[in-house]
């Protein structure tokens, strides 16, 4: 369903750095997408089980399976859907590429939070911010480790990040300000700026928490450090029209 993006959504996005779009997709659509994603995630999980860790993925806790749209026609078509054309043109502008996409599965009975960071901290780019859509493939709850954000944290720009074995960190998990949790029904999403600080909680449930993260950018995105255009992005919108 094409979301109705109100002035309130835009104001929240601009002042808090995020807003929530409820029920953009149905739970049945998410089950279908999930079953396609799970084929790729399962292959990745097998490799992870052999090696234990790969980048920030850890076999027993959390797996990031990237480049899904690049490797799967069905997932690519999903990322080009009119819902995303509407969302990205509203929040970003008329010329949009798919910059990055990954599923994030958090295993049951987890032990660790995924630490506070800004997505720009991983690869600084310009123009920034770009758009991160955190789409719930199944219900995301406080118990199963939903995403949390710090409202307004995007306003300070890119802050220093410290590299740790479980990911980059820009804000302590011991700090009294632990932001706000964003529970979501399957098919709902949180839309945030790539400079908005976020983390996810421990999955204390007995099931897997499943999310698909889709990041859209301006079509002229450059790596801030090299000045080179970011290669291999998938064109999504040109002159406000979906491709």
Ligand X SMILES: O=C(O)CCC(=O)C(=O)O
List of residues contacting ligand X (CB under 6 A): 104, 106, 114, 119, 147, 198, 200, 211, 213
Tokens 């993006």 locate to: 5
Closest residue to bound ligand X by CB: 200
Task: Please state the closest distance from residue 105 (CB atom) to ligand X, in A.
Answer: 9
Closest to 159 (Cα-Cα) out of 128, 191, 129, 120: 120
Nearer to ligand X by C-beta: 147 or 150?
Answer: 147
Nearer to ligand X by C-beta: 3 or 179?
Answer: 179
Please report, for residues 54, 56, 98, 130, 231, the alpha-carbon distance to residue 166 in angstroms, rounded to integers and kept in the order given.
10, 6, 26, 23, 27
Task: Please state the closest distance from residue 138 (CB atom) to ligand X, in A.
Answer: 12
Task: Please state the closest distance from residue 184 (CB atom) to ligand X, in A.
Answer: 11
Tokens for 173, please give them. Answer: 């998990």
Task: Please state the closest distance from residue 94 (CB atom) to ligand X, in A.
Answer: 26
Secondary structure of 171-210 in the HEC alphabet?
A: ECCCCCCCCEECCECCCCEEEEECCCCEEECCCCCCCCEE
Nearer to ligand X by C-beta: 148 or 221?
Answer: 148
Tokens for 25, please give them. Answer: 């997709």
Nearer to ligand X by C-beta: 215 or 219?
Answer: 215
């Amino acid at each position: 369903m094409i979301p109705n993006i109100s002035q309130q959504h835009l104001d929240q996005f601009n002042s808090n750095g995020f807003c929530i779009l409820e029920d953009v997709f149905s739970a049945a659509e998410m089950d279908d997408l999930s079953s396609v994603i799970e084929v790729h995630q399962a292959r990745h999980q097998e490799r992870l089980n052999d090696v234990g860790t790969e980048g920030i993925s850890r076999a027993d806790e959390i797996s990031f399976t990237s480049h899904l749209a690049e490797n799967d026609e069905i997932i690519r078509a999903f990322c080009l859907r009119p819902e995303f054309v509407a969302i990205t043109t509203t929040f970003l502008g008329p010329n949009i590429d798919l910059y990055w996409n990954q599923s994030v599965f958090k295993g049951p009975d987890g032990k660790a939070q995924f630490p506070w960071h800004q997505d720009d901290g991983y690869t600084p780019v310009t123009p920034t911010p770009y758009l991160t859509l955190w789409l719930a493939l199944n219900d995301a709850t406080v118990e199963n480790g939903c995403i949390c954000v710090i409202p307004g944290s995007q306003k300070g720009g890119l802050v220093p990040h410290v590299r740790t074995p479980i990911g980059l960190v820009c804000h302590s998990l011991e700090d009294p300000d632990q932001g706000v949790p964003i529970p979501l029904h399957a098919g709902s999403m949180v839309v945030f700026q790539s400079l908005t600080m976020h983390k996810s909680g421990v999955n204390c449930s007995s099931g897997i928490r499943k999310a698909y993260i889709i990041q859209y950018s301006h079509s002229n995105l450059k790596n801030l450090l090299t000045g080179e255009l970011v290669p291999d992005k998938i064109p999504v919108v040109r002159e406000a029209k979906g491709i």
